[in-house]
């Protein structure tokens, strides 16, 4: 008997997320989602594990098409008059990065950084701010900063926040810690699998998601029917540039003859 791919789809989504973010392996992180130019959540700098007597360091990873904003302020939700530090990665349609003194103010220092952030790949960075006003920004894999500026009149900092830009989505990971609770293999207790877990394990061991689904189509074309469902959230029309942006989700479903099982073997699943 054949069944549809509901179990396969759940497992494949998990696999794709893991494969797309290998840098998160064995890490436990705080995560945040941002959309648009708005600092919605402020976090205490004192809770960072990388605090030092002469300042602090923020390590984070971000996935965004452009304009990854990080703000540092004395108070949470500062007013427009309050002085803050604002660091932007991939400003100007992902062409440059800069450090600003004040939200939305002119750059204090700016460097060309073409495609420094990505809407598909997770990129890691660090920001170190010293008590004497030095601000350094670097890539996760580099010891030297690509952005550096010293404020002659440093401001007191207690909070940080993330944002992006108009119509730009961002996914952030910060305060990541290595998972230290590892159990020796000989002492590990293997919890009994449920029928659903057994089915997933047996079907997906050795399954290659990059191989085209097998089909029972008897023709030479061996066609696979893929059904698409599109849900539209909103549409933006740029009349000057004649560009129509559609925001929404699209789900796909299909039948794969490789994923077949007998319900009698798995509690009638």
Q: Do 133 and 172 belong to one domain?
A: yes
In a domain, 21, yes or no: no
Q: How far is the C-alpha of 96 from the C-alpha of 117, rounded, in Å?
A: 10
The residues near 121 (Cβ < 8 Å, ≥ 6 apart) are 20, 63
Q: Domain end: 142, 177, 212, which one? A: 177
Q: How far is the C-alpha of 128 from the C-alpha of 155, rounded, in Å?
A: 14
Per DSSP, 52 falls in state B
Is 159 in a helix, a strand, or coil?
A: strand
Is the Cβ–Cβ distance between 170 and 70 less than 8 Å?
Answer: no
- Going by pLDDT thresholds of 50, 70 and 90, the confidence category of residue 249 is confident
In a domain, 22, yes or no: no
pTM value?
Answer: 0.61
* Two tokens, residue 12: 């494949």
Q: Do 67 and 163 belong to one domain?
A: yes
* pLDDT of 183 higher than 80: no
Q: Do 170 and 101 belong to one domain?
A: yes
Is 124 in a helix, a strand, or coil?
A: strand
| Residue span of the structural domain in which 111 resides | 28-177
pLDDT value, residue 16 = 32
Q: Rank 221-230, 239-248, 254-263 by mean pLDDT and report only the highest.
A: 239-248
In a domain, 182, yes or no: no
Average pLDDT over residues 176-200: 62
Q: Do 10 and 85 belong to one domain?
A: no
Q: Do 194 and 171 belong to one domain?
A: no
Task: Encode pLDDT of 36-74 as tens digits.
Answer: 999 999 999 999 977 778 999 999 999 999 999 999 999
Looking at the structure of the chain, the number of domains it has is: 2
Beta bridge partners of residue 4, listed in sequence order: none
* pLDDT of 212 higher than 90: no
In a domain, 183, yes or no: no
Q: Do 253 and 144 belong to one domain?
A: no
Q: Which residue has the higher pLDDT, 185 or 10?
A: 185
In a domain, 184, yes or no: no
Q: Do 42 and 153 belong to one domain?
A: yes
- By DSSP bridging, strand 68-73 and strand 159-163 are antiparallel
Q: Do 162 and 32 belong to one domain?
A: yes
Beta bridge partners of residue 160, listed in sequence order: 43, 72
Buried b (16+ CB within 10 A) or exposed e, 197-227: eebbeebbeeeeeeeebebeeeeeeeeeeee
- Going by pLDDT thresholds of 50, 70 and 90, the confidence category of residue 3 is very low
Of 16-30, 34-48, 182-196, 204-218, the range with the lowest mean pLDDT is 182-196
Q: Domain end: 177, 203, 223, which one? A: 177
104: CATH? 2.60.120.200
Is the Cβ–Cβ distance between 99 and 137 less than 8 Å?
Answer: yes
Task: Encode pLDDT of 133-177 as tens digits.
Answer: 999 999 999 999 999 999 999 999 999 999 999 989 999 999 998
Q: Domain end: 135, 156, 177, which one? A: 177
- Going by pLDDT thresholds of 50, 70 and 90, the confidence category of residue 19 is very low
- Alpha-helical runs (H) found in 169-219: 195-204
- Going by pLDDT thresholds of 50, 70 and 90, the confidence category of residue 214 is low
Q: Do 142 and 68 belong to one domain?
A: yes
Nearest residue to 156 via CA among 136, 129, 174: 129
* pLDDT of 254 higher than 90: no
């Amino acid at each position: 008997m054949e069944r549809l791919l509901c179990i396969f789809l759940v497992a494949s989504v998990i696999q794709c997320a893991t494969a797309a973010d290998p840098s998160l392996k064995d890490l436990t992180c705080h995560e945040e989602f941002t959309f648009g130019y708005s600092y919605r959540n402020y976090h205490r700098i004192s809770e960072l594990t990388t605090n030092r007597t002469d300042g602090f360091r923020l390590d984070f990873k971000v996935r965004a098409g452009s304009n990854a904003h990080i703000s540092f302020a004395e108070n949470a939700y500062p007013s427009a008059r309050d002085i803050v530090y604002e660091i932007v990665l991939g400003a100007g349609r992902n062409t440059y990065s800069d450090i600003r003194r004040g939200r939305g103010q002119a750059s204090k220092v700016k460097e060309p950084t073409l495609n420094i952030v990505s809407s598909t790949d997770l990129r890691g960075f660090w920001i170190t701010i010293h008590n004497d006003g030095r601000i350094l920004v670097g890539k996760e894999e580099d010891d030297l900063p690509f952005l550096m500026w010293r404020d002659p009149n440093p401001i007191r900092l207690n909070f940080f926040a993330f944002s992006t830009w108009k119509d730009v989505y961002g996914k952030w990971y910060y305060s990541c810690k290595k998972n230290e609770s590892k159990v020796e293999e000989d002492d590990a207790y293997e919890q009994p699998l449920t029928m659903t877990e057994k089915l997933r394990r047996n079907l997906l061991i050795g399954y290659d998601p990059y191989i085209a689904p097998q089909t029972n189509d008897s023709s030479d074309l061996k066609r696979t029917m893929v059904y698409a469902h599109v849900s539209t959230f909103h549409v933006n029309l740029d009349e000057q540039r004649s560009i129509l942006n559609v925001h929404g989700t699209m789900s796909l479903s299909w039948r794969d003859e490789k994923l077949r099982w007998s319900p009698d073997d798995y509690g009638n699943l």
